[in-house]
Amino acid sequence: MAQRTVLVTGATGLLGREVVAAFKIRNGWTVKGSGYSRADGADIIKLDLESGADIAKTLDEIRPHAVVHCAAQRFPDKVDKDPEAARALNIAASKTLASATAARDILMIYISTDYVFPGRPGDAPYEADATPAPTNLYGQTKLDGEKAVLEEYRVAGKEGLGVTLRVPVLYGHAETPSESAVNVLMDSVWKAQTEGTKIKMDHWAIRYPTNTGDVGRVCHDVATKYLDSGDRKSLPRTLQFSSEDKMTKYEICQHFGDIMGLSIANIEPNTEGNDPNASVQRPYDCHLSTRELKNLEIDVSTVDFVSWWRREVRAFRK
């Protein structure tokens, strides 16, 4: 089979690094990654996603068969603090990139989020065609990005080459714990070891932490499936992937305490739910159905949360 090329945007980030790795370890792919503030110009190409000219130049030089678009502002609190910058990256840049990739017959996988759904008690799991209704601006920007990408491919007459992949909260190998809303909870467990410390931890919203390595594998499998298909227009435009590991942030801290042999007595479970005065409202349960991936015969298995973390922190265990 002829060698294919994939370009991964946001390749210096938590997910992007694992997507790059997933393609590299599988035969048949040449992998290029792009970044901006952390791009070194060698392994990671510097690409300004807000510049149509820069996008066009990069695509014409690399000539990728697929683009996995991981670059995004993905922290709800940061989106709320700088909504214009978030809209510029999550919506406008995604639209510009999709216009350029569609014009060149390039498959684009747009990484989205479970936060496009309202997460009301009793609603989940959400099928891919369920009606979105984000509870915060982050979810809205990602939903608008989905619509922009799919519309560019529709207008270009290239439906089936533009795909959205929704994922939940992610964890994995991180350069700093703050890269992940899951990894950072390990810091909370360590801080709770200080006498007199009291930390309130959400024990209301249900999460499905999913490993970035698994998401990378699914991105590879989706790209291969769609590029190999002789009838792409019959393939779904929206896909969803999630672990079935179900836990609150407090329960994640309990797991970390067990793994590390540390007490979490100073961490208090908070079951009150959203503060009605908070600027960012988070959904209760946005569990994603993986039915569409299963229908495509794409592997939706995931690593076990506790087992992965036991391996990850083994050097710190006494």
Question: Rounded to whole angstroms, how far apart are CA atoms 41 and 46?
Answer: 6
Question: Rounded to whole angstroms, how far apart are CA atoms 218 and 301?
Answer: 10
What's the token pair of residue 116?
Answer: 């496009």
Give the contacts of 162 (CB within 8 A, at least 6 positions apart). Answer: 98, 101, 102, 107, 108, 110, 149, 150, 152, 153, 154, 237
Residue 82, burial from CB neighbour count under 10 angstroms (0-12, 13-18, 19+): exposed
Question: Rounded to whole angstroms, how far apart are CA atoms 243 and 219?
Answer: 15
Question: Rounded to whole angstroms, how far apart are CA atoms 291 and 82?
Answer: 35
Q: Are 266 and 198 in contact (CB under 8 A)?
A: yes
What's the token pair of residue 208?
Answer: 């499905």
Q: Where are the beta strands (DSSP E) in 36-180?
A: 44-46, 66-69, 107-113, 162-167, 170-171
DSSP code of residue 114: G
Q: Name the residues annotated as catalytic.
A: 138
